[in-house]
Amino acid sequence: MKFSLTFRYLVYNAVLMNHNYWKRAGVIIFIVSISITAGYLLAGLDLSANKTVAVKQQVASVSLAMAAKVDPDKLYEITDVVDGDTFKVKIDGKQITVRLLGINTPEVVDPRKPVECFGPEASAEMKALLKAGKVGPSEVKLTLNPNREKIDKYNRLLAYAYLADGLFINEYMVKEGFAREYTYGKAYQYQKEFKEAEKTAKDLGKGLWTK
């Protein structure tokens, strides 16, 4: 009888302890679940906030480029050179990114791609032309293509650029072998001239076409 009571006492305590254990475990699991859920919610809010900021920046960029009024007789100050076919200018006090029409230079700044052959040379040539980083502002004249879109998918102003002395930068970069002729979609204003300039550079083995 004494043994039976003792046994039942031990079983009762074991069950009670087991019950308390699972009760505590359930509380812990509940707390962890709440924490994880809260973490996901906060992360979602953070991502949503970041996405909203990115969209606002993109809209602002589009608005600036689209609103930019380009006077073909005016010189615009260069603020930065991105690579061999892209630079930034000030238009009405706003910084606008300009992508040169009808040409394409090897990639150097796209994080998705490795630096391409002759890309650094093309970028260096553009910086030399525009004297980027030198004392005092450098300036260019800009004209838009009358029959093409004003901006590209990256919200850059599409333009032809000229130095103050009249040098046609787009054509120069192709003719000297720093860029290829580039047609996106339908024909553009100087397509024929740029194709001829590329052929000349190839025939002479300049830049990209060095044998």
pTM for the model:
0.69
Query: pLDDT-based confidence at 88, cuts 50/70/90?
Result: very high
User: Is 156 an annotated catalytic residue?
Assistant: yes
Average pLDDT along the chain: 79
Taking only the tens place, the pLDDT of each residue in 169-206 is: 999 999 999 999 999 888 899 999 999 999 999 999 99
- Among residues 8, 77, 125, 156, which one is catalytic? 156
Please give the torsion angle defined by the CA atoms of residues 42, 45, 47 and 49, in that order, rounded to the nearest 10 degrees. Answer: -140
Active site residue 24: no
Q: How confident is the model at residue 101 (pLDDT cuts 50, 70, 90)?
A: very high
Name the band, by pLDDT with cuts 50, 70 and 90, for residue 135: low
Q: What is the pLDDT of residue 109?
A: 80
Q: Which of these is catalytic: 8, 24, 77, 107?
A: 107
99 is catalytic: yes
Q: Give SS3 for 140.
A: strand
* Tens-digit pLDDT profile for residues 13-51: 444 455 554 455 555 666 656 656 555 555 554 555 554
Token pair listed for 58: 């993109």
The one-letter amino acid code at 11 reads V
Instruction: Provide the terminal-to-terminal Cα distance of the chain, rounded to the nearest Å.
Output: 106
Q: Which amino acid is residue 51, in one-letter code?
A: K
The whole-number average pLDDT for the span 67-84 is 91
Q: Pick the residue with more confidence: 46 or 167?
A: 167
Rounded-to-integer distance, Cα 72 and Cα 86, Å:
18
Give 161's contacts (C-beta < 8 A, 6+ positions apart): 98, 100, 140, 141, 142, 168, 169, 170
From 99, 125, 181, 198, the catalytic residue: 99
